[in-house]
Amino acid sequence: MVFKQTMVSLFFAVLFLCSCENDLKDVERIANINAEEPIDVSYGVTVIYSDSAVVKAKLISSKMIKHNVDSPFYEFPKDVLLIFYDKNKKEERRVTSKYGLYFEKKNLVELRHNVVVTMADGTIFKSEELFWDNDKRIFFNKLPLTITSPDGSILEGNFFEADENFEHRKINGARGVYNLKEGDGL
């Protein structure tokens, strides 16, 4: 009888230890996950940005990855479409790119690869990169750019900075073709 109880107790102890070993391996595996691995992957993403119940912008992307690092960031590895609206809910500009990043702590958006900004008036900005500094409320880039106006004027530059409405622009190395209308003068 004592032998039977000892065997049953030993059986359960071995069973318990084996199951704990597997659980400990799982816990160790989870604890060793690299902090730089994506912690959240979303597909078919639409993010609406509003202020006081007024839609200001919409972000659309086929894939979004949130990275868990000391400075967390969001990655949009396939495509980005940003649509900005005025106070009357009318589209002001549309921004597209093949790749994008948003750095939470810096409050900075970085767009890369075939960046195109289309303004409501038909003005088109093209470059391989565009940054938006949300704290300073400015757009800027460090690579060559082209701005084409609705009248066919083409302005090129080495890099630029613009206000949040894309109206007041500072362009380094500006050059291009400007179509003058009669009476414009120089």
DSSP code per residue over 111-161: EEEEEEEEETTS-EEEEEEEEEETTTTEEEESS-EEEE-TTS-EEEESEEE
pLDDT at residue 28, rounded to an integer:
60
The residue extents of the domains of the chain are: 1-32, 38-177
How high is the pLDDT of residue 165?
A: 83
Measure the CA–CA gap between 116 and 98, rounded to whole angstroms.
10
Q: Do the beta carbons of residue 38 and residue 66 sit within 8 Å?
A: yes
Quick one: pLDDT at residue 63?
Answer: 94
Compute CA distances 100 → 73, 89, 113, whole Å: 10, 25, 9
Predicted TM-score of the model (pTM)? 0.72
**Paired residues of 169 in beta bridges:** 162
- For residue range 123-161, list pLDDT tens digits in order: 999 999 999 998 999 999 999 999 999 998 899 999 899
Amino acid 185: pLDDT:
54
Beta strands 145-148 and 138-141: pairing type? Answer: unpaired
Alpha carbon 122 to chain centroid, angstroms: 24
Q: Which residues of the chain have a pLDDT value below 50? A: 2-4, 7-8, 10-20, 35-36
CA distance linking residue 177 with residue 167, whole number of Å: 19
For 38-177, CATH gives 2.60.450.10
Q: Read off the DSSP letter of residue 98.
A: S
